[in-house]
């Protein structure tokens, strides 16, 4: 029998074991569910997130058997919206699709925000939604609506599966269905990974007792597809000549390829904080200031874009310029970044030519990148908010003491969270003012950062971070010893407060939810509407003030709580050992 760890939820699979039932259960719904989950395990799926419900009980009870055998990590959440985003986080960290199982009706509709984020971010996800059989549809049966096609074009595959009746060949059909779903979700053939919807009708009896045993692999089914190999083989590469004055832009999800290209070819690197490319000698942090300057942005002739830039207006403005050639690079996906339909070329991969690499070492090329880097450093040096006191040999001076006891600003909060995070940690950023604070000022560091920038919504942010924490801390690898930090605003926290609920007996990961609490949605204060609308109207419908007691909220869900109103308290809280989930409140001025 495989081993599991109650502390980490790690799994040691028995060589992708064949799973079989001791005897037929007497419920076609249960037997089909077992066969379906068996094949998903065989393909490499390791996580299932489910929300309770009657129609989906066969899937839920079968999942507990797979958990007992150590073949699946089971995560139970009462809210389907949160369940979907936990699956999103699990897939982001693990690279494997997680299963999401729920009952019929509005439960399915609540998965839509997570499906949309997965769709636009190309994150694999497999939805198993229970439904009524054909004879109960369209006659106002309880908890019954039109579920096939509910996610429209946001899913890579939608299969409306007829209710099993115990016929010969149903297990094999379930195996084939799982393989079809896995291939579509991972994009092994299409280069377009994303969510898949299996709508599963079930008749009564909706479940029966089932007992599973795991044995040696029987070799009767094909193994998992090698998605990575298919993508590499299919991706055309564009050689980049030295030619025009070039900058490399890395948006969300770009990964290290953008930094490697910028360094190899000697081009300035504009890397958003959630890009996975924000490091290296060519990094330009203060790019917003420089892109608007004639001597910098005005000199750009070519821009190479990786990922999905979303954190500034200056980058799309650069792409829209008539005299700038834009090349967008995306190894996967069917949607392409294309502001104003001005992009010249779309490619799966790029590489600097030998000539471009040779030119990178010339004085002129070094001067092009060096001017950007030095100018950026000069701009950042003028920011006195981040000047941390350097204590002398005789202790703190009055000025140093005052600096440590001064209220925390957004700049100080952003800098402190960034400095506290290291490669074995995970940093998740919500869609609020704070991600822009980090993007505008934090220097290069090669650490894992994620933000839901597919649609840049605040939905499910806590759940996403929980999924990332659970997946990253699930193994015995040294990197699994880190802490996941989630930095959010107060509105983002409250929008997903239900995801703070972790059922008894499930893994409670090392997760710090750091809340910059300024009493409402202050991000709207920086938009154009603030100059035209009445302040009372802005407060009523945009700022939406709140006075929630976050300490009581944490206590209600069984989370640890701390408040950090000063720099010293903040740094102490961020560097303290994180044994349990913690809510860290940081009061901020509006």
Q: Which of 114, 109, 147, 128 is nearest to 196 (CA)?
A: 128
Q: What pLDDT score was predicted for residue 231?
A: 34
List the one residue out of 360, 175, 170 whose CA is nearest residue 262.
360
Give, for all 590 residues of the chain, the pLDDT tens digit: 344 444 445 554 444 456 677 667 788 999 999 999 999 999 999 999 999 888 999 999 899 999 999 999 999 998 999 999 999 999 999 999 999 999 999 999 999 999 999 999 999 999 999 999 999 999 888 888 999 999 999 999 999 999 999 999 999 999 999 999 999 999 999 999 999 999 999 999 888 887 888 764 444 444 444 433 333 332 378 999 998 999 999 999 999 999 999 999 999 999 999 999 999 999 999 999 999 999 999 999 999 999 999 999 999 999 999 999 999 999 999 889 999 999 989 999 999 999 999 999 999 999 999 999 999 999 999 876 666 555 555 556 666 667 678 899 999 999 999 999 999 999 999 998 999 999 999 999 999 999 999 988 888 999 999 999 999 998 755 556 899 999 999 999 999 999 999 999 999 999 999 999 998 888 788 777 778 778 887 787 778 888 999 999 999 999 999 999 999 999 999 998 888 999 999 999 98
The secondary structure of residue 269, as a DSSP letter, is E
pLDDT tens for 383-428 read 766 665 555 555 566 666 676 788 999 999 999 999 999 999 999 9
For residue 249, the model assigns a pLDDT of 98
228 and 222 in contact (C-beta within 8 Å)?
no
Q: What's the rounded Cα separation, in Å, for the pair 533 and 535?
A: 6
Facing residues of 125 across strands?
A: 98, 195
d(CA 187, CA 189): 5
**Domains of the chain in sequence order:** 18-230 (3.40.50.970), 235-381 (3.40.50.1220), 384-587 (3.40.50.970)
Give the CA radius of gyration of the chain.
26
For residue range 343-355, what is the model confidence (pLDDT) as tens digits? Answer: 989 999 999 999 9
Q: Where are the alpha helices (DSSP H) in 266-341?
A: 287-291, 314-320
As given in the structure block, the two tokens for residue 206 are 């909706």
- 30-66 tens-digit pLDDT: 999 999 999 999 999 999 999 988 899 999 989 999 9
Query: H/E/C letters for each residue in 167-215?
Result: CCCHHHHHHHHHHHHHHHHHCCCCCCCCEEEEEEECCCCCCCCCCEEEE
Residue 236, preceding bond cis, omega within 30 degrees?
no
Cβ contact 448:425 at 8 Å: yes
Whose tokens are 């005897």? That residue is 23
Cα 446 to Cα 449: distance, rounded to the nearest angstrom: 9
- Residue 32 · residue 205 · CB < 8 Å: no
Q: Tokens 């990575």 — which residue?
A: 228
Phi-psi region of 255 (alpha: psi -120 to 50; beta: other; left: phi over 0): left
Strands 98-102 and 195-201: unpaired
d(CA 232, CA 229): 5
């Amino acid at each position: 029998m495989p081993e599991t760890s109650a502390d980490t939820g790690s799994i040691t699979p028995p060589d992708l074991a064949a799973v079989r039932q001791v005897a037929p259960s007497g419920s076609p719904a249960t037997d089909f569910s077992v066969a379906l989950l068996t094949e998903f395990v065989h393909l490499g799926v390791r996580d299932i997130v489910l929300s309770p419900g009657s129609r989906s009980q066969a899937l839920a009870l079968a999942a507990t058997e797979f958990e007992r055998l150590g073949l699946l990590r089971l995560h139970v959440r009462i809210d389907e919206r949160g369940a979907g985003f936990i699956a999103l986080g699990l897939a982001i960290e693990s690279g494997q699709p997680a299963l999401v199982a729920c009952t019929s009706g509005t439960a399915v509709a609540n998965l839509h925000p997570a499906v949309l984020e997965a769709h636009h971010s190309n994150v694999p996800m497999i939805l198993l939604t229970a439904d009524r059989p054909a004879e109960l549809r369209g006659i106002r049966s309880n908890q019954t609506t039109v579920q096939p096609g509910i996610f429209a074009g946001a899913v890579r595959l939608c299969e409306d599966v007829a209710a099993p009746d115990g016929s010969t060949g149903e297990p094999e059909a379930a195996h084939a269905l799982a393989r079809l779903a896995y291939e579509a979700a991972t994009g092994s053939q299409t280069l377009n990974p994303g969510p898949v919807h299996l709508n599963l009708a079930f008749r009564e009896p909706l479940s029966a007792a089932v007992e599973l045993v795991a044995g040696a692999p029987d070799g009767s089914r094909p193994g998992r597809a090698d998605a990575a190999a298919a993508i590499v083989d299919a991706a055309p590469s564009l050689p980049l000549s030295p030619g025009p004055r070039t900058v490399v832009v890395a948006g969300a999800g770009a990964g290290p390829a953008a930094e490697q290209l910028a360094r190899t070819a000697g081009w300035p690197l504009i890397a958003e904080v959630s890009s996975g490319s924000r490091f290296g000698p060519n990094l330009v942090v203060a790019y917003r200031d420089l892109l608007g300057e004639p001597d910098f942005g005005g000199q750009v002739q070519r821009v190479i874009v990786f990922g999905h830039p979303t954190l500034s207006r200056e980058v799309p403005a650069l792409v829209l310029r008539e005299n700038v050639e834009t090349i967008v690079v995306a190894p996967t996906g069917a949607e392409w970044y294309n502001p104003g339909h001005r992009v010249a070329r779309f490619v799966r991969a790029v590489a600097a030519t030998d000539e471009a690499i040779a030119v990178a070492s010339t004085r002129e090329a070094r001067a092009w990148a060096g001017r950007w880097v030095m100018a950026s450093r000069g701009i950042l040096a003028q920011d006195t908010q981040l000047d941390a006191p350097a204590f002398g040999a005789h202790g703190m001076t009055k000025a140093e003491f005052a600096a440590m006891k001064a209220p925390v600003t957004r700049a100080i909060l952003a800098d402190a969270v960034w400095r506290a995070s290291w490669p074995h940690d995970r940093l998740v950023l919500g869609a609020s003012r704070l991600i822009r604070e980090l993007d505008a000022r934090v220097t290069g560091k090669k650490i894992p950062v994620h933000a839901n920038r597919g649609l840049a919504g605040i939905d499910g942010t806590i759940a996403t971070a929980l999924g990332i924490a659970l997946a990253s801390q699930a193994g015995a690898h040294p990197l699994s010893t880190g802490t996941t930090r989630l930095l959010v605003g107060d509105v983002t926290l409250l929008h997903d407060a239900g995801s703070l609920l972790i059922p008894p007996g499930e893994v409670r990961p090392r997760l710090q939810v750091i809340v910059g609490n300024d009493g409402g949605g202050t991000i709207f204060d920086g938009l154009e509407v603030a100059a035209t609308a009445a302040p009372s109207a802005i407060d009523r419908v945009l700022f939406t003030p709140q006075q929630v007691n976050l300490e009581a909220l944490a206590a209600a869900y069984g989370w640890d709580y701390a408040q950090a109103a000063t720099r010293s308290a903040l740094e102490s809280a961020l560097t303290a050992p994180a044994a349990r989930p913690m809510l860290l409140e940081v009061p901020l001025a509006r």
